[in-house]
Structure 1
Amino acid sequence: MRRNLSIILSSSMLLLSAWCQAQEIAKGRVYHDLNNNGKWDKKELGIANVAVSNGSAVVLTDANGAYQLPVGDDNIIFVIKPSGYTLPFDSDNLAKSYYIHKPKGSPTDLQYAGVAPTGPLPKTIDFGLTEAKEADQFRMLVFGDPQAYTEQELTFFNRAIVDEVVGIKNVAFGLSLGDLVGDDLSLHPGYKASIARIGLPWYNLKGNHDMNFDVDADSLSDETFEANFGPANYAFNYGKVHFIVLDNVRYPNPRTGRGYLGGFRKEQLDFVENDLKHVAKDRLVVLAFHIPLDHRNGDTFRAEDRQRLFDLLKEYPNTLSLSAHMHTQTQHFYGKTDGWPQEKPHHEYNAGTTSGDWYSGQLDERGVPMATMRDGTPNGYAFIDFDAHKYRIRYQASGKDSTYQINIFNPKVVGQGKRTRAAIFANFFMGHHGSTVEFSIDGGAWSKMMPTRSNDPAYLALLYPWDNLDTLLPGRRPTDAVLSAHLWRVGLPVDLAIGEHEIRVRAEDDYGKMHEAVSTYVIQPTKNYPALK
């Protein structure tokens, strides 16, 4: 018996030794890059307690700024930027915060090239940081789904979105929430060049249209993304906010082998768990990914993956999730019945998209499609203002004044006192059915409008010409309407004096700010039907 146990132990030690030999150890340091030359010089001191990761494990640097991490034959080593420091950025304003270790490179039979062979592991992988003042109050810019399928659509993106924010001030950095392009990954460089024009440090995440589709394992679906943007899963700090960026598109679908499914691989959630071990509980934790967590009975997002993520956040009272993908705009609030472990619901902002309804619709005065989304939200982008663990989100419609937060739809002419089903509809883009929306006629008393889960008639009016005109319209027909999650309705008053009347709608957002919109309609004398003969 003892002899058998000795054999088993010897075999186990041999297997462990073989495993350790297969795993190399990446070594390096995080240091003060005083002269900004991107190289560690002997006079430059290391920075202690900075997190560094291999995509799963997370370690802190020692007193000299040194770290060690195990790596296999497909790892990206990256530094998690601490608050009060800045990373070096390349000519496209993308962070140079990582080293790709793929000795043999990506598979060579991909339609779009991945990472070239990186060769043996370097003796040292160092990350230089420079000190920077970071206030607790700062602003970020958020893009959902730029998603250009062609060079022409990339031009639309530049005209409708990028041109509006080039040189913008008082914004710390930007983030795109996936679907940077539309399947043609050769457009990634054009997207990067467009973003570089803005002049801000920029972060990116992978969407379902940024994938390598010619692979048979989810771990290989981001090969081209990694070559163009670096790790698909990473984190960084700014002020008192900790950001975690994740690829939550699983391809091929692990259930069917076809298409994709929202969810995470085990090592991704291991990364989140290990990362959070070094994040103070009073910090605001902002998660960013492409597909919303709203799993709809698990049909679009794996329930068990969402549950583990929620469980990992149970000790963090201040959280926010950012997603895109849907080409609508929705505020999700997850509570106990959704598996969220806290009393305070978890807020997910499912952002409207820069491409709107996939660059569809008639052309506006800028020569770009109107691209209003199927729920009546105009295409655009968002600003998020942070103040320590608090945040405020504001949506900015492309080509519109910043005060344009509500769209009113109503008939322009009605008959006096004539029975009608005509109504006033208000689409409050950042609202949800917990918001208070009120209307007033001709400066009278304010009354509540009723939330309605229906198609936005203003969007249907945009869609109507495409199916009813007998001439061909330029551009592409918008997609069919979907139920809007931020629409309100009230019957239109017709028992007023003949003439023009003013409609005012006001709504309070979740941050206490009031928004107003104005429309008008005319009441005319009622015309009787001609007598029947």
Structure 2
Amino acid sequence: MRASLTVLLLACLAVPAHALPPPCSSGFVFEDRNGNGVRDAGEPGIPGIKVSDGVQLVTTSADGGYDVPYEDGRTLFVVKPAGYDVSVRPDGMPDFWHNRQYHKGPALKYGGTPQRQPGCRHFGLRPRGEATTAGEFEALLLADSQTASVQDVDYYWRDIVQPLVGKHGASLGLTLGDIVNDDLALYPEMLRTTMSLQVPWLFIPGNHDLDFDAASDADSLRTFRHHLGPDTFAWEEDAVTFIGLDDIIYRPGESPSYLGGLREDQFAFLQAYLPTVRRDRLLVIGVHIPFFEEGARGFRAADRERLFALLRDFPHVLLLSGHTHTQRHWYHDAATGWHGTQPLHEYNVGAACGAYWSGVKDAAGIPDSTMADGTPNGHARLRVRKGGEYTLSWHAARAKDDSGIGLHAPNVLRKGAYPAWGVYANVYMGEADTRVEYRVDGGEWKAMKRVEQPDPSLLVENMRDDLADALRGYDRSPEAEPSHHLWRGALPTDLAEGEHRVEVRAFDRWRGETTAHTSYRLQTATP
């Protein structure tokens, strides 16, 4: 008997790999009527739903079936259609993707993509009622949460996430890369923390989300995809279509080790998918490295022009990016390869971690973390209406007011001195043509002048750090760099001695008029 078992075992081991049963390439997209994520009896298939592996794109048949030819190591996903919600995984993530890994992948420090049984995969969708599909759509936007430790995750929770729990009206969340700062073991905790916001959340990878021990770019996001989903995806709502793209080209063993750009498989997906996208909606393209970024690690100009050619005929396009740990608006034109009828707007979203969770801690033990351009860390919101119209806003973390304006003025000036000192207004969402005005003691409103120089409030922090005899925080505030959204107005010194109120108003393109105020004091002095 023992000899027979030995012979049988040897016979099984002798079966060549190509004789193993092939992995399943098909499945169904079905109406998940009870919301349990499992296809139960009586739950019909849904026709006309797009399914992709990031390269190939198919549409479900009349019975909801699909067949995407199997390619080991790719991530299969449903393009969530407008008017539907996806089933929810036990960890709170939207259940719209599945990693195909039939054979064992490369051994990686953080695990990569686990080998799995090649079973068929079904995806559940739940129809929305008419009341939930009408009106304005809102999304929460984060960039660069960039946690390097459990302590940083706690900052992220208390500074960014907790203040929003139960207090936002968003239907979707999007993080634009650098979810962590190289320590991919933090993904489960970051996922748990983020999903407490109880909205579907989509993640785009950044240059600090890579498996740095991977031998190639193709294998560098295996751990990311295992925890957070596909690195190429599309998601459709009634008023907006989102496309997320990994734009980090990893180059192990080379210098620089990465740069910005897109892969051939991503262009294959875009060429197949974009012709199916409705053009009366806003089309949002989300990446990590900005399209306007130049230099050795910037975005490859040839890839940018190739992408822009695919987007040229879309009347409503918004680009979203992160990476810089500053905030600005950029309008692409022929100089950067855009040849549409109107300039193409890119919003480079400020970082959730600000300047890498640096600076002096407040009473709650959370670092100040102001960014190098003077923008406080926080989150952005995107609101979209049918017809392609959208509004954007920036919200500083735990801010007592939400004016979107940071003011700096001297405490005291000499009465009668030459008026060489001014009030500075950092209008976080300001653009080159933003109208910013100020007045003193309720007088006449006067225009402030846009200046590209470091934010003086951050310069003060730099000086305090320089002059301190001991560290004021774990990491010092970043060295201030010129801001693209700073305005200055000269302060009069010919007024009465004493305190004077300074009011500033900015006319935001989307929010309208916003205001902030500060004060300074005039003092009489003798030589």
- TM-score by length of structure 2 reads 0.92
How do 1:172-211 residues align onto structure 2 when only pairs under 5 Å count? 172-211=171-210
Match of 2:448 in 1: 449
Name the amino acid aligned to 1:292.
P
* Cα pair distance change 1:42/1:159, threshold 3 Å: closer
Structure 1 residue 402 displacement after superposition: 4.6
Structure 1 residue 44 displacement after superposition: 2.2
Does the CA-based 8 Å contact 1:51-1:58 persist in structure 2? yes
Aligned length: 504
Q: Are 1:91 and 2:87 an aligned pair?
A: no
Match of 1:347 in 2: 345
* Cα pair distance change 1:24/1:317, threshold 3 Å: farther
Structure 1 residue 403 displacement after superposition: 2.5
Match of 1:19 in 2: none
Deviations 1:483-503 (A, max 9, x none): 101001122211222221111
Name the amino acid aligned to 2:199.
L
Mean CA deviation greater in 510-519 or 363-372: 510-519
Q: 1:284 aligns with which of 277, 282, 285?
A: 282
Q: 1:333 aligns with which of 322, 331, 334?
A: 331
Does the CA-based 8 Å contact 1:295-1:303 persist in structure 2? no
> Aligned with 2:484: secondary structure?
coil
Name the amino acid aligned to 2:330.
H
Structure 1 residue 462 displacement after superposition: 1.6
> Aligned with 2:273: secondary structure?
helix
Deviations 1:451-510 (A, max 9, x none): 111111111112211110224423321121111010011222112222211111111112
How do 1:321-470 residues align onto structure 2 when only pairs under 5 Å count? 321-388=319-386, 389-470=388-469
Structure 1 residue 36 displacement after superposition: 2.7
Name the amino acid aligned to 1:363.
K
Deviations 1:145-177 (A, max 9, x none): 111101111111111111211122422121111
Structure 1 residue 197 displacement after superposition: 2.1
- Alpha-carbon distance in 1 for matches of 2:174, 2:400: 22
- Alpha-carbon distance in 1 for matches of 2:256, 2:313: 37
Mean CA deviation greater in 492-501 or 210-219: 492-501
- Alpha-carbon distance in 1 for matches of 2:36, 2:441: 65
> Aligned with 1:427: secondary structure?
strand
Mean CA deviation greater in 30-39 or 347-356: 30-39
Name the amino acid aligned to 2:480.
A
Does the CA-based 8 Å contact 2:240-2:283 persist in structure 1? yes
Name the amino acid aligned to 2:379.
Y
Q: CA RMSD in A?
A: 2.0
* Cα pair distance change 1:45/1:471, threshold 3 Å: closer
Does the CA-based 8 Å contact 2:203-2:229 persist in structure 1? no
> Aligned with 2:305: secondary structure?
helix
> Aligned with 1:70: secondary structure?
coil
Q: Are 1:519 and 2:518 an aligned pair?
A: yes
Mean CA deviation greater in 237-246 or 167-176: 167-176
Match of 2:125 in 1: 129
- Alpha-carbon distance in 2 for matches of 1:319, 1:311: 13
Structure 1 residue 420 displacement after superposition: 4.8
Structure 1 residue 39 displacement after superposition: 2.9
Deviations 1:291-338 (A, max 9, x none): 111132675110111111111111111011111111111111111222
Match of 2:109 in 1: 111
- Alpha-carbon distance in 2 for matches of 1:473, 1:161: 23
Does the CA-based 8 Å contact 1:23-1:70 persist in structure 2? no
Match of 1:483 in 2: 482
- Alpha-carbon distance in 1 for matches of 2:419, 2:462: 24
Match of 1:10 in 2: none
Moved over 6 A (4+): 22-25
Deviations 1:61-119 (A, max 9, x none): 222222222222222211100011111112332111122111113212x1110111124
Does the CA-based 8 Å contact 2:23-2:102 persist in structure 1? no
- Alpha-carbon distance in 2 for matches of 1:512, 1:163: 25
- Alpha-carbon distance in 1 for matches of 2:297, 2:177: 20
- Alpha-carbon distance in 1 for matches of 2:295, 2:185: 36
Mean CA deviation greater in 54-63 or 375-384: 54-63
> Aligned with 2:272: secondary structure?
helix
- Alpha-carbon distance in 2 for matches of 1:239, 1:281: 12
- Alpha-carbon distance in 2 for matches of 1:323, 1:183: 19
- Alpha-carbon distance in 2 for matches of 1:42, 1:470: 71
Name the amino acid aligned to 1:38.
G
How do 1:7-406 residues align onto structure 2 when only pairs under 5 Å count? 26-108=25-107, 110-120=108-118, 122=119, 124-132=120-128, 133-252=132-251, 256=254, 258-296=256-294, 299-388=297-386, 389-406=388-405
Structure 1 residue 213 displacement after superposition: 0.5
Match of 2:506 in 1: 507
- Alpha-carbon distance in 1 for matches of 2:430, 2:473: 33
Match of 1:14 in 2: none
Q: Which structure 2 segments of 5+ residues have no match?
A: 1-20
Match of 2:15 in 1: none
- Alpha-carbon distance in 1 for matches of 2:484, 2:383: 24
> Aligned with 2:133: secondary structure?
coil
Deviations 1:385-435 (A, max 9, x none): 111221111111112135231111111111111125312211000112221
Name the amino acid aligned to 2:87.
P
Match of 1:3 in 2: none
Deviations 1:161-196 (A, max 9, x none): 112111224221211111111101111111111112
- Alpha-carbon distance in 2 for matches of 1:66, 1:151: 43
- Alpha-carbon distance in 2 for matches of 1:61, 1:435: 48
> Aligned with 1:488: secondary structure?
strand
